[in-house]
Each structure stands twice: as structure tokens, then as C-alpha cells.
């Protein structure tokens, strides 16, 4: 299952690789020229520290290259996020 409808992605839960919930996927950002997915737009879980992330209104942006797996939930790599935040 490599190809998936983008509409089915939305409303999926986003978790980090340590198992804690980050939020619910609201939208995905793409580069229109290349079609490459660049960012996840996530409605953050209430317990998440959103100050670590770039924010857009009530949503946080998570770089798509931190995504490890997409199944019933979306798993993002905690270490990569740490790196991105530090950078």
C-alpha cells in the first residue's frame, strides 16, 4: 500500500516514535512544481508543547521528511524532529 488517497490521510493521528500523541493531521503541504510533500499541518494535542514547532494559526507544521511510517496512524521520527528544532 504505497499509494493512498490524500483525503484518507487527513484526520489520522500523528504520533512520535516514542509513542506519544502529537495531534491530528489537518492538511499536507506540497511543492506545486515537484509534487513533493514538504510539511504536515497538524492540529496539536492539548498536552503537546507547541513552542518547539513552527506554527500556523492553531496548527503546527512538521517537516514531511521526519515521517517514518504511515499506516493507521502517522509516525514521525522524534530524533529527526529534535534535530530540525535545534537547527
Interacting residues with another protein (CB under 8 A):
1-7, 9-10, 27-39, 41, 64-65, 67, 70
In the structure grid, which three cell numbers stand for residue 7, read together? Answer: 483525503
Nearer to another protein among residue 65 and residue 79 (C-beta): 65
In the complex, least distance from residue 47 CB atom to another protein, rounded to whole angstroms: 26
What is the C-alpha to C-alpha distance for residues 28 and 38, in angstroms, rounded to an integer?
8
What is the C-alpha to C-alpha distance for residues 32 and 53, in angstroms, rounded to an integer?
23
Nearer to another protein among residue 32 and residue 87 (C-beta): 32
Nearer to another protein among residue 19 and residue 71 (C-beta): 71
Q: What is the pairing mode between strands 74-76 and 54-56?
A: unpaired
Amino acid at each position: 500500500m504505497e499509494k493512498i488517497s490524500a483525503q484518507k490521510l487527513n484526520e489520522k493521528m500523528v504520533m512520535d516514535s516514542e509513542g506519544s500523541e502529537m495531534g491530528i493531521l489537518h492538511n499536507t503541504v506540497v511543492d506545486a512544481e515537484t509534487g513533493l510533500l514538504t510539511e504536515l499541518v497538524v492540529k496539536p494535542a492539548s498536552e503537546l508543547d507547541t513552542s518547539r514547532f513552527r506554527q500556523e494559526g492553531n496548527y503546527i507544521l512538521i517537516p514531511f521528511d521526519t515521517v517514518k511510517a504511515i499506516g493507521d496512524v502517522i509516525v514521525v521520527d522524534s530524533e529527526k524532529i529534535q534535530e530540525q528544532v535545534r537547527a
